[in-house]
Structure 1
């Protein structure tokens, strides 16, 4: 949605920002920083800045203005990769708690009404502001054809290793409200932790750590499957069962981790809990 190849559309930028905030279920005041498209042009930058002032610059605490910067001042315009460059910058800034300096800014542009909202340029390296909540950032990227993109990033929750204590294979259906990005991350951490513990401890030696005749219990892991509908969930389970059957070299812990760490999460879900390959195959069927 553009006025032309050289004239971005401010109202469209406002709409995509508000849509991203609504989808992320956060308010503009809960976002600390925005990584701007920021190409440094006399026309494009004022239009983008006014859109940010109209959205993020309103109804903020007096001591917490929106901080604004652009990685293009550091590495230039990477064309098709410029959006992901902004995402990478913000992820690293969140991780280290430091906002890097935006270079080559002598003074704020006089073509922008900075009094229209609480937005401040990051002209020096600063610590990420502490607000008592998760760090959040917005990243904008605008294409020459008029495509506007804006994404909200949030600091990852602290991983907590959760021991898995289920001792028998089972297939468990879960409601759509159970799994969230945060809980998926926790499951992935649990899978990693359980697998690492199994490797570190190794098999018990009879007569030393294990009574003769005792059978060592395998580590129980989850295989999480999801689909947009019940039929899609069944079809996905069948595809996974077929794939596992054709690849005997697959390790259950690797499949468990991949399913929770790299697969999309949909409304209908099921979990197969097992400690060995046969249990997973039985659960999927």
Structure 2
């Protein structure tokens, strides 16, 4: 008999998106994690009757740089809050002339160029290797695509997101290199976020909201900060409309993820049970409890 899952939708807000309109029974709550403090308190509520948990990735008021975001704490806090599906919303630059500002890209691949971040929950004492060959959940992507079409949102299904460390933007040479690699958009936050969501067995998908062309573009020097901010705020308004439309779709009761996102740890643990560090296992109670409790 197939288990029925009552989804809880996690929403990660990027630059310009620090709240979610229309949430009922809304309450900001602090959630403690063994990995430190999340970016902010989490906003709990319901949207069209669907349980939602919102977390502004940079914190309200944007006090955190991309490198300072505690990605492990953010994902752990969402997992502890019962989240089954994460929709990540991120402001990005475009590396593709066919993706102008205002376009929403439903990302399906990443290239991770970050270097100053903790990228795994699993450390010495409990080693695990999960597959991120296909790093986003196609089921969530299908719903996002349907919602985008329904509201007439300019969007593209599929694209590669290059995650750079930041906080500085690319040099022109770097920008041209990323284009030669076949990347479509560039941002600073979705890695290791997507990898950690996979380790936590949470279905995850990214909507990348284009604010400007990266510095490869011949018209880049004509772009002003005011223009970028204006696009970013317009994107945030459209993102809120997208969220209102897609959450009821994602909130329907369902079975296990067809892509196996919610079973990513099934065969991932490689450290023998007698060699596992009890202190680390205690920290993994939310992220890996499903497989660790079974092993016990």
Q: Answer 1 or 2: which has greater helix percent.
A: 1
- Normalising by structure 2, we get a TM-score of 0.23
Q: Which has the larger radius of gyration?
A: 1
Structure number with the higher strand fraction is: 2
